[in-house]
Structure 1
Amino acid sequence: MVLVTPASNSIENDTELSGGEASSENQAPLVIVGTGLAGYHLALEFRKLDSVTPLVLISSDDGAFYSKPLLSASLSHGKTAQQLCQTSAEEMARKLDAQILVHTRVASISPHSKTLQLQQDVDNHIADIPYDRLILATGAHCRKLTAIAGNAHARLFRINNLTDYHRFRTALVGCQRVLLIGAGLIGCEFANDLVQAGYEVAVVDPQEWPLASLLPEAAGRDLQEVLNNSGVRFYLGKSIRSLNKNPKGIEALLDNGETLVADIALAALGLEANTALAETAGLKIQRGIAVDRKLQSSNPHIFAIGDCAEVEGHQLFYVAPLMTCARALAQTLSGNPCPVHYGVIPVAVKTTLRPTTLCPPHPGAEGSWQVSQDTKGVCAEFRNSRGELLGFALTGAAITERERLISECMPLMDNKSFE
């Protein structure tokens, strides 16, 4: 375990942890598990309001601060993992006046004693540390492939962090043909990025059009046509049965009997919240860690934020709600309870070949898509029986309608206050 401290503090023994010389010796720290966008932005917002409370962040990697959304849009710009890293853990520790434990795993949480059990690896118990309040910002992992046979899984990659990006970018050397599994939001962004980087891209997805869970068919087909015209080949409504090595690279057998040959494969099948650590604390789990609008879990001293959290039924893997949550939770942790309010949250898909903005209605919302379309783009509005706008999707030149639709669209949450 490596302990990074701000310049004003001394580096402490690995088996001891306090808030630093400037803090009360008897005060347990505020602990944030995770140093992704959620963990770091919460820490930054909290320090704007509270410069005294001891603050500890725990990272399973090197703790570098970077923008995860750039992972699916940087290959065409030739960006290395090192270039995507904005700030080191040491610099963040100084900026936050915090202690940051890097390459450290939290094995379990003991809510009754309000302690965390830390490990450097599976068999090496390092330390128990106390917390006053605990925030889980453990993120999400890539959804795994199921029922795909074959011996070429070593050539199948997933990208969910800087290490993954570095591994894939290195493996791409000498490759030309990329098999992309998944035509969702991240899959389309990677297709857009890879084809502009000069690769031959084939996309396979069981859905009938790109982003089928977020876009109406007209908008999805519009995006597909532009990407196809740029060189991306789509195999939609199909699944991969096996992935095997062959003398030319790898060979994917589709469920219709068709075979695709590529040099390397990338899976982009969406995300699932990391909830295993929360389960050790007996927290309520749904699709993510269930929290209320204070981002408080079923334990009053434990909170969750970011991709790992499900906020009053909403699970949104986007940056805008994460930032909203960071500002609200910082207020709550500073003694000013502040409920999260999700308004209208449009998402700009990083498909630069065909600019696309989506604001999907809440899952299960009753209504229908009303679509207007021409060669310049698609404007789709999701309205209920009363004519209220619950969501929208825009492609091409139609993205100029974004602000008008935002002003009319119903917010995801009402603006209720605490009881």
Structure 2
Amino acid sequence: MQLPVVIIGSGFAGYQLAREFRQLDNQTPVIIVTADNGDDYSKPLISHGFSRRLSADAMIQKRCDALAEELAITILPNTRITSLNAQNKTVSYGDEIIAYRDLVLATGAEAAIPPVRGDGTTQILTLNSLQEYRHASKTIVDKQRVLVIGTGLIGTEIALDLSLANKEVWLVGMTEQLMGHLLPDFISRELQQRFQSSGCQVMTGLTVVELTQSDSGLRVTLSDDRVIEVDAAIAATGLRPRTALANAAGLRINRGICVDACLQTSSPHIYALGDGAEISGTLLPYLQPIALSAKALAKTLAGNRTDVVIPAMPVIIKTPVMPIQLSGETSGAHLSWLVEHTDNGMIAKAYIHEDKMVGYVVTDKQIAQGFSLLAQLRATA
């Protein structure tokens, strides 16, 4: 009996790996075990669903059973793996045991909830899965005032999307500027000004201290003692890799599940990829690095051990008031910038040495210049 490749997790990472592996090997059994219903959906749409009035079902690209048939794999939906025995090469759920040839942990990450006191904390919504979006969209549909906690990439996109859906939005974050880990201050300031002009209230350098339920909704106390009243609150303060299963099995854990360049964990025949995998000390929770990881791991599982190579890749920030593309090093006092302002947006190139471009940011219609700049960046890497 041929032992299967078992993948735990049915997010983008798990399904992309199954697709890539099936192109190389159509004989080895593949089993995907997932705690949700297994439907394949576009996760990036979640940050833009409110303004488009998208239902959760409208985001589904393929149902679980149809995908299983298409890829000739077995999918076990609504099933949670409870134990992993690396020595025996088995995983268990309930009274069932699955023996594997190779195991892939594509368990992803969960939304991190900031430390906030008060009885309103149980009402904080998150948007890290289709199920969470389904719940949040039903909760928010008749609400007008919404607090978004977190001024990073996802929080910023969600806040603007809600504003475009004609909600009254407050965006609050502890960083001193929007997406400070990604953007230089001069672009972040411009983005914040456009947010304010669109009607979204941006409050940087602040945290939410307390959230309490009131007769009119939720009472929010900020770290500068300001108090605002909202109807709903969404946390977008980052992700926490799901490492409990790997940790219990004795695999090496740091911020995520530690893997080498071939995505192998500290145990033979166990691999990890996606939001929960820490590749050579780095977490890369973006679709393009995950897609490259899936392609490389598929080759390894098919018998051709392959390192993951992550070149300079573009990050696209979907904020309609100011579309942005960037890549490379784009934040930090050590950078010097050559900035061109045009009627169609900005072209900003980051340098460490005068002759070596290490990053770029382009905005608005100048995004079209991003791909040539990306090629230059890759050529000098």
Tell me, yes or no, whether TM beats 0.5: yes
Give the superposition deviation at 1:247. Answer: 2.3
Q: CA–CA distance in 1 between the matches of 2:376 and 2:191?
A: 25
2:8 equivalent to 1:33: yes
Match for residue 145 of structure 2?
Answer: 177
2:274 equivalent to 1:309: no
CA gap of 1:360–1:272, structure 2 versus 1, over 3 A, is farther
2:24 equivalent to 1:49: yes
Instruction: Please state whether the residue corresponding to 2:353 is helix, strand or coil.
Output: coil
Letter in 1 for 2:24: L
Give the superposition deviation at 1:369. Answer: 4.3
CA gap of 1:102–1:36, structure 2 versus 1, over 3 A, is same
Match for residue 68 of structure 1?
Answer: 43
Letter in 2 for 1:317: P
Instruction: Please state whether the residue corresponding to 2:358 is helix, strand or coil.
Output: strand
Task: Work out which of the residue numbers 194, 202, 215 in structure 1 matches 2:170.
Answer: 202
Give the % identical residues: 37
Match for residue 136 of structure 1?
Answer: 105
Letter in 2 for 1:326: A
CA gap of 1:357–1:343, structure 2 versus 1, over 3 A, is same
CA contact (8 A) 1:219 1:394 kept: no
2:66 equivalent to 1:91: yes
Instruction: Please state whether the residue corresponding to 1:409 is helix, strand or coil.
Output: helix
Match for residue 240 of structure 2?
Answer: 272
TM-score, normalised via structure 2 length: 0.95
Task: Work out which of the residue numbers 320, 328, 337 in structure 1 matches 2:305.
Answer: 337
Q: CA–CA distance in 2 between the matches of 1:211 and 1:341?
A: 26
2:209 equivalent to 1:241: yes
Map 1:79-118 → 2, pairs under 5 A: 79-118=54-93
Give the superposition deviation at 1:112. Answer: 0.6
Deviations 1:12-58 (A, max 9, x none): xxxxxxxxxxxxxx111100000000000100110011000011000
Deviates more, 1:353-362 or 1:102-111: 353-362
Letter in 2 for 1:220: S
CA gap of 1:301–1:308, structure 2 versus 1, over 3 A, is same
TM-score, normalised via structure 1 length: 0.87
Specify every segment of 5 or more residues in structure 2 that has no aligned partner in the other structure, as ranges. Answer: none
Match for residue 345 of structure 2?
Answer: 377
Q: CA–CA distance in 2 between the matches of 1:356 and 1:239?
A: 26
CA gap of 1:360–1:126, structure 2 versus 1, over 3 A, is farther
CA gap of 1:105–1:364, structure 2 versus 1, over 3 A, is farther
Task: Work out which of the residue numbers 114, 119, 129 in structure 2 matches 1:145.
Answer: 114
CA gap of 1:410–1:367, structure 2 versus 1, over 3 A, is farther
Task: Work out which of the residue numbers 109, 114, 126 in structure 1 matches 2:95.
Answer: 126
Give the superposition deviation at 1:386. Answer: 5.8
CA contact (8 A) 1:360 1:393 kept: no
CA gap of 1:298–1:211, structure 2 versus 1, over 3 A, is same
Match for residue 121 of structure 1?
Answer: none
Give the superposition deviation at 1:127. Answer: 0.9
Task: Work out which of the residue numbers 191, 202, 223 in structure 2 matches 1:223.
Answer: 191
Deviations 1:124-183 (A, max 9, x none): x2311100000010011111211x111112331011111100100000132101011111
Task: Work out which of the residue numbers 298, 301, 304 in structure 1 matches 2:266.
Answer: 298
Match for residue 352 of structure 1?
Answer: 320
Give the superposition deviation at 1:313. Answer: 2.4
Give the superposition deviation at 1:372. Answer: 4.0
Q: CA–CA distance in 2 between the matches of 1:363 and 1:140?
A: 25
Give the superposition deviation at 1:360. Answer: 4.3
What's the RMSD between the two structures over aligned residues?
Answer: 1.9
Q: CA–CA distance in 2 between the matches of 1:69 and 1:349?
A: 11
CA contact (8 A) 2:312 2:328 kept: no
Q: CA–CA distance in 1 between the matches of 2:19 and 2:99?
A: 22
Q: CA–CA distance in 2 between the matches of 1:390 and 1:68?
A: 30
Specify every segment of 5 or more residues in structure 1 that has no aligned partner in the other structure, as ranges. Answer: 1-25, 119-124, 415-419
Deviations 1:279-319 (A, max 9, x none): 12211112211111211111120011111111122211110
CA contact (8 A) 2:151 2:171 kept: yes
Instruction: Please state whether the residue corresponding to 1:343 is helix, strand or coil.
Output: coil
Q: CA–CA distance in 2 between the matches of 1:282 and 1:57?
A: 22
CA contact (8 A) 2:182 2:330 kept: no
CA gap of 1:57–1:319, structure 2 versus 1, over 3 A, is same
Give the superposition deviation at 1:244. Answer: 1.2
CA contact (8 A) 1:59 1:104 kept: yes
CA contact (8 A) 1:30 1:134 kept: yes
Instruction: Please state whether the residue corresponding to 1:306 is helix, strand or coil.
Output: coil
Match for residue 284 of structure 1?
Answer: 252
CA gap of 1:362–1:354, structure 2 versus 1, over 3 A, is closer
Letter in 1 for 2:37: D
Instruction: Please state whether the residue corresponding to 1:226 is helix, strand or coil.
Output: helix
Letter in 1 for 2:294: A
Q: CA–CA distance in 2 between the matches of 1:366 and 1:226?
A: 27
